[in-house]
Structure 1
Amino acid sequence: MGSVGSVVISLDAELGWGFHDLERPPLERLESGRRGWRRMLDLCAEFDVPATWAVVGHLMLESCDGVHADHPAPDGWFDRERGEWTDREDLRFAPDLVRGVVDSDVDHEFASHSFSHVLFGRPETDREIAQAELERSLEIADEWGESVNSFVYPRNDVGHRDVLAEHGISAYRGRSPTYDGVRGLVDSTVRSRSMLVQPTVDEYGLIDVPASLFLFGFEGPVRTVAESIWEDPMVVQARRGIDQAVRNDGLFHMWLHPNNLTRERDDRRMRAILSYLDRRRSETDLAVETMGDVAERLAVTRGVDGGTVAADGGSETKTADDD
């Protein structure tokens, strides 16, 4: 890392594709995808906070036949699109929302979240499927005039990193070294565990920009109780991570899905976090970066010798939340 602390925010922008393979998709989040997407764009614009928007490529299409006969995928992968969601274009397509990202006055990074949210680490996802998922998403991005330097794995299911490297991807979001939810809160507050992460260069030359904190890992009744006697625990966590980045000149990487913003209280959470980030940026040398920025900076730091950057000690790894 350099001598200045930085904060990264990444979003898994997926709408229905984040849930289409689930037997019972969470209805509230499913129906909140478009609302949350617009709200996050508005909030990022209000506070001039650039983010890495990892977009499912299928959303950029105007239409499709639902068959995708020339696209290899696990058996039954497109069944919901062909059946139950045939008339749910709002879940399957979103060129208007994607246009909001790429045309924003904020310098967002356009990144890939695959073509149809295939899980790269699963045994049924062979190399052919991984290549097709990445190539199709890059092809669509190119048609939009967008280049792609960063990749966010669907459900943080890391796999086929060599395929990313072969297709010119520079960075991906690695799994968080810390836990989500209550355990993560205890680790950082009671045990004073740092939420800063260290980017590393893997054996394929890709830069792993690990997640620090999933901003919606503390939900349901436990959140309601906590908020009734305290302030929003995730806002407290985010402020702590931002302050750690300032004090220790390290990297703090928050992430979420637009569909996590299902109600006004979720909007308030994100407003509080972005407002605090904006204030700390104005008071200090803190930088707000994208994953691509981090990769570019690290590449410069590495120089021409090809040396790698070692990770901090870290702890037992837990795959972050869901979709």
Structure 2
Amino acid sequence: MGSIVISLDAELGWGFHDLESPPIDRVESGRRGWSVMLELCSEYDVPATWAVVGHLMLESCDGTHADHPSPEGWFARERSEWRDREDLRFGPDLVRGIIDSDVDHEFASHSFSHVLFGRPETDRELAVAELDRSIELATEWDQTIDSFVYPRNDVGHRDVLAESGVSAYRGRSPTRDGIRGVFDSTLRDRSMVVDPTVDEHGLVNVPASLFLFGFEGTARTVAESIWNDPMVVLARRGIDEAAASDGIFHMWLHPNNLTHERDDRRMEAILAYIDKRRAETDLTVETMADVARQVDDCDGIDGPAKGVDGQATARQY
């Protein structure tokens, strides 16, 4: 039985605070996109893994974070240009929207302040602090963190995740984004389903299949004028492939990717198709934590089977 996983990198301004010139349209669309995605998930009863930047759970702060072992200047924008932009720095109202939703979403971590775990300057002390602070805040909201989504998919310090009680993370996609990805998946007929694997730390890697906003700008406009939204076409193909297999089709996005109404229409078309195929087949919709729990149950019976790369292939349930 195949399944669909949707994960969202919920970050507001924190996804851009370290950039010299943040994309204004994305920065200003975070709250709007967050609300739209919650509404669409509720309308089509689609649970998702919401990976939330921990700082968004705060009501306020002084912007210094003196006890946090961050790189020099890491919180500078919070104290300067964004000092009066509480809408970009905090999001307790949006966090509450996830928790109070009538859909059983997963509350996951996207670190505390969007630190890039794979960078050389992110030492173990910083990785521990980022994860510990995120988990501490989630606990204050009566939430348990089972899954982690790496900021900018920069994987690192997996041992820290394991020691903190995290059970799953989103690994890098084996497929390309953009025009090359559309070419490979459509013309070369490459599979978009993935299998979770168990790494050497006991973490379940739930790889991404498709970034839903990897084909934008002029190329998207031209494609839509003569064909259809390429990402909707690819998403439907991946959903169909999952429905016909035992694999996982794992889509991901940022709420701030929804900058215009046509982006809303893209997501509604995809969620509506999930709902349609779920009614017609045995297709299920899972969170990353759901996948990890089923992998654990399977391993408890037979143990994980080894893949060609030495990791354990876990999709046996």
> TM-score, structure 1 length as denominator?
0.94
Task: Give the equivalent residue in structure 2 for 1:66.
Answer: 63
Match of 1:30 among 15, 23, 27: 27
**Cα distance in 2 between the residues matched to 1:156 and 1:237:** 21
> Which deviations, in whole Å up to 9, do the C-alpha atoms of 1:111-158 show, x marking residues without a partner?
000000000000000000000000000000001110010000000000
Match of 2:179 among 150, 173, 182: 182
Answer with 245-254 or 108-117: which moved more.
245-254
Task: Give the equivalent residue in structure 2 for 1:160.
Answer: 157
Change (3 A) 1:309 1:57: farther
Extract unaligned runs of 5+ from structure 2: 311-317
Task: Give the equivalent residue in structure 2 for 1:265.
Answer: 262
Task: Give the equivalent residue in structure 2 for 1:231.
Answer: 228
1:216 has 2:203 as partner: no
1:106 has 2:103 as partner: yes
4+ long deviations beyond 4 Å: none
AA paired with 1:200? T
Task: Give the equivalent residue in structure 2 for 1:317.
Answer: none
Report the 3-state secondary structure (helix = DSSP H, G, I; strand = E; otherwise coil) of the residue aligned with 2:224: helix
Task: Give the equivalent residue in structure 2 for 1:274.
Answer: 271
Task: Give the equivalent residue in structure 2 for 1:115.
Answer: 112
**Cα distance in 1 between the residues matched to 2:70 and 2:158:** 18
Deviation at 1:306, TM superposition (A): 4.7
1:19 has 2:5 as partner: no
Task: Give the equivalent residue in structure 2 for 1:55.
Answer: 52
Report the 3-state secondary structure (helix = DSSP H, G, I; strand = E; otherwise coil) of the residue aligned with 2:28: helix
| Aligned-residue identity in percent | 76
**Cα distance in 2 between the residues matched to 1:212 and 1:309:** 21
Task: Give the equivalent residue in structure 2 for 1:252.
Answer: 249
Which structure 2 residues correspond to residues 242-321 of structure 1 after superposition, within 5 A?
A: 242-303=239-300, 306-310=303-307
Extract unaligned runs of 5+ from structure 1: 314-323
Report the 3-state secondary structure (helix = DSSP H, G, I; strand = E; otherwise coil) of the residue aligned with 1:248: coil
AA paired with 1:129? L
**Cα distance in 2 between the residues matched to 1:183 and 1:131:** 36
Change (3 A) 1:125 1:137: same
**In angstroms, what is the RMSD of aligned CA positions?**
1.2
> TM-score, structure 2 length as denominator?
0.96
AA paired with 2:49? T
Deviation at 1:312, TM superposition (A): 8.7
AA paired with 2:28? E
1:75 has 2:72 as partner: yes
**Cα distance in 2 between the residues matched to 1:132 and 1:25:** 25
